[in-house]
Structure 1
């Protein structure tokens, strides 16, 4: 399944490169997949950047969010407009302020993913 973290803002290109590198080096996330920097969308004019992560299991979503939060906190980044999208499900990562606060929103997000998965195909191919 494809997961996409979109970043917006004046430093989004630099932040996306930094995040993609961090995710590629995360040992827990590597167990579930790999990260890559997505090419800019046609006509986007650099307004935002997307880091794509290909996950082999739904459990990888938790590792992805954990790695993202660790990256954000490691350098006290003030990232705004960060969103995680997997298929038709989306969560605003800015609302999760710390590793202590992520359990409930991620459980709700995983529940939504499970619901979408039970509805049929499409969950794995629509992240962008």
Structure 2
């Protein structure tokens, strides 16, 4: 399963690098391959800008650990950040400033990506 994570907001590229480090440090995601995807460079750019993270997970059950880790990371952010998580055709965008509870963020990611009804 491939999951793509993007951020919108002030200093999104910086925050995405922080999220990448957070995910790499999570023991439950050891089996996942995490890589950055840069935005296309344009004339005058000083260098590549990180646009999204791609997480390749085997087995599929790691999605729960990924959602929990993203939720916890978002819950401790001081900046307002919007998180976009996509897997295949399914996508969820979350305004983390409105959902501060890490469990709410994780539940919403799982619900939307797995197509489960709200409990």
Classify the TM-score, shorter chain: 0.7 to 0.9
Gaps of 5+ in 1: 114-128
TM-score, normalising length: structure 2? 0.73
What is the Cα-based RMSD across aligned positions, in Å? 2.7
How far apart in 2 are the matches of 1:69 and 1:106? Answer: 9
Superposition map of 1:61-100 within 5 A: 61-80=63-82, 82-94=83-95, 96-100=99-103
Give how far 1:22 is off.
0.9
Corresponding residue for residue 38 of structure 2:
39
How far 1:108 sits from its partner (Å)?
2.5
What is the CA-CA distance between 1:103 and the residue it aligns to? 6.1
Residue in structure 1 matching 2:54, options 48, 52, 55:
52
CA contact (8 A) 1:19 1:71 kept: yes
Instruction: Please give the per-residue CA displacement for 1:7-36, whole angstroms capped at 9, x wherever unaligned.
Output: 1223011111111111111111224x1222
1:6 match:
6
5+ residue gaps in structure 2?
Answer: none
Q: Deviations over 1:36-91 (max 9, x none)?
A: 21121466x889720111111222222111111222223434212x1100011111
TM-score by length of 1: 0.69
Answer 1 or 2: which has greater strand percent: 2
From the two aligned structures, give the one with the greater helix fraction. 1
Q: How many residues align?
A: 110
